Amino acid sequence: MLEDYAEQFFKALCKQIGEDETREGLKHTAQRISQSYQNLLDGYAQSPTEVLGSVFTQGACDEMIVLKKMPFYSMCEHHLLPFFGHISIGYLPDKKIAGISGLARVAEIFTHRLQIQENLTAQIADCLLNELMPKGVMVVCEARHLCLEMRGKQRQSSIITSALRGLFKKDSRTRTEFMQLIKD
């Protein structure tokens, strides 16, 4: 079904810009577009709760757990152009901990949806807050946006967003410790 839409879109685009969609280099472009978007946007078909995986009560600690600068790619919901960078996630467990790969999978679910960076950061933090019920969660996302860099004035810059919940919001020492841990 997505393949049919991609083909219709691609034919209309080529006609609009004066391109021949039947030329050799473009013959299979509609199928490649369809396959790309199926992969790039597969986060809708998965549940963040399920991909978090096993949550453990045994071994829950009272120290910060950090996933530092995980690379990601996402699609801007306003322009359907990529934005990409890295995400750092930290949380202070209360009674539950998740596997580190579960943290990465949760982030990936949300990055594989049409997004704006501000919502992406908040969705990851809120999911972990709801599922793990930690003392605090902090997510920092730094990204380059091709919708900014390729259009208009073509400015290259990084956008940084953060979401703070619980102790990270209330206690500046906790925030500072996290920021020190994710520094280069």
Annotated binding site for Zn(2+): 76, 79, 147
Residues 130-147: b if buried by 16+ CB within 10 A, e if exposed:
ebbebbbbbbbbbbebeb
Q: Provide CB contacts within 8 A for 148, sequence distance 6+.
A: 155, 157, 159
Measured CA to CA in angstroms, residue 24 lies from 4, 20, 21, 28, 171 at distances of 20, 9, 8, 8, 60
Give binding residues as ranges: 76, 79, 147
Cβ contact 83:144 at 8 Å: yes
Cβ contact 99:163 at 8 Å: no
Q: Are strands 136-145 and 114-115 parallel, antiparallel or unpaired?
A: unpaired
Q: Which of 143, 98, 101, 100 is nearest to 121 (CA)?
A: 143
Running DSSP on this structure, what letter comes out for residue 38?
H
